Amino acid sequence: MRKLRPSIFIGILAILIFVGGYYTTIKKTKEKIKTKEEEYQLVESKLRKTRAVVKRKEEANRRLQIVSKRWKQAKRMLPTEADIPILLGTIEKLSGTCEVDIQRFKPLPQSAKEKYIEVPIEITINGGYHDIAHFMAAMNNMERIVNIKNLKLKGERIKEGVEKEEFKIKASFILVTYISKGGKDEG
């Protein structure tokens, strides 16, 4: 029998140490890496879901801001109180701008509907045909919701001297505005 050379013995010993080390150290490390990768995949999945929720929340907040703006505008259009003096002041300003004279402004009895209350106001104005039309258009553009019912126009001749004759129109109508029935004020 031949004598084993020390280099072969050392080589075999090194292989045995490497194989033993592989199974004890490297294999355990690979298992840890696999476990950490699975944990990473799970955390990454949760992160994707969280990002999607955050994106939906941002979209919901944006929509909430839009709805809040619309709600504020709707509250101005349909107030919870009649505010007749404020309405009269607004109509007075419009009449001055449109060059019509208010002859009568008489609030009538209110009538309750299912979700709102109608506030009718009898109004009579004088002015030129185009001035009255401009006044009606200006009332239509008011911030508050108003409707005009029972419009009656009557022409009148006004004499100014011998050569000049002027026509004025007398318009009488019911201006109907609305107030909220006082539902819960949100926003």
Q: What is the pLDDT of residue 185?
A: 43
Tell me, what amino acid is at 75? Answer: K
CB count, 10 Å around CB of 136? 17
Distance CA(92)–CA(22), nearest Å, equals: 96
For residue 187, is it within any domain? no
For residue 101, is it within any domain? yes
Domain total for the chain?
A: 2
Distance CA(89)–CA(143), nearest Å, equals: 13
Residues 71 and 22 both lie in one domain: yes
Helix (H, G, I), strand (E, B) or coil at 132: helix
Phi, psi of 72 (to 5 degrees): -60, -40
Under 8 Å CB-to-CB from 81, ≥6 apart: which residues?
179
Q: What share of the chain is helix, strand, coil (3-state, %, to 5)?
A: 55, 30, 20
Q: What is the pLDDT of residue 91?
A: 87
Is this structure's pTM higher than 0.85? Answer: no
For residue 123, is it within any domain? yes
Cβ atoms of 117 and 179 closer than 8 Å: yes
Q: What is the pLDDT of residue 4?
A: 60
Q: What is the pLDDT of residue 60?
A: 87
> End of a domain among 77, 105, 137?
77
For residue 186, is it within any domain? no
Each residue's pLDDT, cut to its tens digit, for the chain (187 residues) gives: 466 677 777 888 888 887 777 777 777 788 888 898 999 999 999 999 988 888 888 888 888 888 888 777 776 666 767 678 888 888 889 888 888 999 998 989 988 888 788 889 999 999 988 999 999 999 888 888 888 999 999 988 776 655 666 778 999 999 998 888 765 444 3
Q: What tokens does 154 get?
A: 């009557």
Residues 7 and 62 both lie in one domain: yes
CATH code for the domain in which residue 137 is found: 3.30.70.60
Residues 33 and 5 both lie in one domain: yes
For residue 98, is it within any domain? yes
Residues 166 and 92 both lie in one domain: yes
Please, what is the Cα angle at 73 between 71 and 79, to 5 degrees? 90
Residues 130 and 170 both lie in one domain: yes
Distance CA(121)–CA(73), nearest Å, equals: 23
Query: What range does the domain containing 3 cover?
Result: 1-77
